[in-house]
Chains A and B, each alone.
Chain A
Amino acid sequence: MKLAIVVQRYGQAISGGAELHARYIAEHLARHAEVDVLTTYASDYVTWRNEPGPADERINGIPVRRFHVEHERDLLAFSRHSARVFEHRHSLADELRWLDAEGPTSPALVNHIAAHADSYDFCLFFSYRYYQAYHGARAAARRAVLVPTAERDPAIGLTMFQPLFRGVRALMYNSPEEQAMIQTVSGNQDVPGVVVGVGSDVPANPRPERFRQKYGVEGRFAIYVGRIDGNKGCNELFEFFEGYARDVYGHLSLLLIGQTLLPLPQHPRIRHLGFLDDADKFDAMAAADLLVIPSYFESLSMVALEAWALGRPVVANAKCDVLKGQCLRSNAGLFYESYAEFLSVIQSLERNRWLGATLGTNGRRFFREHYEWPVIERKYLDLLERLAREPARSTMEPLPPWIERRRRNLPPAQDVVARLPRGASLEPAAAGLRS
Chain B
Amino acid sequence: MSDFNVRSDSVNVEQIMEQVRDRIREKRGVDYTEQQIRELAALKLEKFLDPRGVRSDLLKEFRGVEPDPNFAFEEDTLFHSTRAPFLMWIRRLLRPVLKLFFNPNPLIDVLHTQSKLNALNASRHQLYYELIHNLVVEATRLGIEVRNLKMRVESMDARVDFSERRARALEGAVMYRPQVEDEREATRPSPSRSPAPSPIAPPERAPSRPMFSPTPAAQISSSGSAGTGGPGPGPGAESSGQRSKRRRRRRGRRGGAPAAAIMGSPAGSPQGVAPPASDAPGGDAPAPPADSGPERDAAEQGPSTPFAKPPEAHGGGSGQGPATGSGGADDEQ
Contacts and interface: CB of A to CB of B under 8 A. Distances in A.
Given A328-B14, A332-B13, A359-B11, A344 B1 contact: yes
A408 B76 CA distance: 11
A338 to B, nearest CB: 8
Interface stretch (A212-220, A347-355, A379-387): A347-355
Interface string B1-39: 111100101111110110011011001100000000000
Interface string A374-408: 00000000000000000000000000000000001
A334 B17 contact: yes
A361 B1 contact: no
A333 B20 CA distance: 13
A345 interface: yes
A327 B11 CA distance: 12
Contacts of B28: 340
A331 B23 contact: no
Given A334-B20, A341-B24, A344-B23, A352 B2 contact: yes
Given A335-B17, A348-B16, A352-B3, A340 B11 contact: no
A340 B29 CA distance: 13
Nearest to B109: A80
A355 B4 contact: yes
A327 B13 contact: yes
A358 interface: yes
B20 A344 contact: yes
A193 to B, nearest CB: 26
Contact of A348 (B2, B12, B116): B2
29 contacts: A83-B116, A327-B13, A328-B13, A331-B12, A334-B13, A334-B17, A334-B20, A340-B24, A341-B20, A341-B21, A343-B1, A344-B24, A345-B20, A347-B2, A348-B1, A348-B20, A350-B2, A351-B2, A352-B3, A354-B7, A355-B4, A355-B11, A355-B16, A358-B9, A358-B10, A358-B11, A359-B11, A359-B13, A362-B11
Contacts of A359: 11, 13
Interface of B: 1-4, 7, 9-14, 16-17, 20-21, 23-24, 27-28, 75, 116
Ordered nearest first, which 3 A-B pairs have the shortest CB separation? A351-B2, A344-B1, A340-B24
Contacts of B14: 328
A408 B77 CA distance: 14
A355 B3 CA distance: 10
Contacts of B1: 343-344, 347-348
Contacts of B27: 340
Nearest to B3: A352
Interface of A: 83, 327-328, 331-335, 340-341, 343-345, 347-348, 350-352, 354-355, 358-359, 361-362, 408
A352 B13 CA distance: 14
Contacts of A334: 13, 16-17, 20
Contacts of A83: 116
Contacts of B3: 351-352
Contacts of B116: 83
A355 B16 CA distance: 10
Contacts of A328: 13-14
Contacts of B4: 348, 352, 355
A81 to B, nearest CB: 13
Nearest to B23: A344
Contacts of A348: 1-2, 4, 16, 20
Contacts of A341: 20-21, 24
A350 B3 CA distance: 11
A358 B23 CA distance: 21
A430 B54 CA distance: 58
A332 B10 CA distance: 10
A227 B1 CA distance: 31
Given A328-B14, A334-B16, A334-B17, 13 more contacts: A327-B13, A328-B13, A331-B12, A334-B20, A341-B20, A341-B21, A344-B20, A344-B24, A345-B20, A347-B2, A350-B2, A354-B7, A355-B16
Nearest to B21: A341
Contacts of B17: 334-335
Nearest to B1: A344
Given A341-B21, A344-B20, A345-B20, A333 B2 contact: no
Contacts of A361: 9
A331 B13 contact: yes
Given A347-B2, A348-B2, A355-B4, A333 B13 contact: yes
Contacts of A340: 24, 27-28
Contacts of A347: 1-2
Contacts of A350: 2
Contacts of A351: 2-3
A48 B332 CA distance: 81
A358 B14 CA distance: 14
A126 to B, nearest CB: 31
Nearest to A327: B13
Contacts of A344: 1, 20, 23-24
Nearest to B20: A344
A74 to B, nearest CB: 16
Nearest to B12: A331
B115 to A, nearest CB: 11
B72 to A, nearest CB: 10
Nearest to A335: B17
Contacts of A354: 7
A250 to B, nearest CB: 10
A195 to B, nearest CB: 20
Nearest to B13: A331
Contacts of A408: 75
Interface centre among B4, B16, B17, B27 (most CB of A within 10 A): B17
Contacts of B2: 347-348, 350-352
Contacts of B12: 331
A434 B16 CA distance: 31
B32 to A, nearest CB: 13
A328 B17 CA distance: 10
Contact of A331 (B11, B24, B75): B11
Contacts of A352: 2-4
A354 B10 CA distance: 11
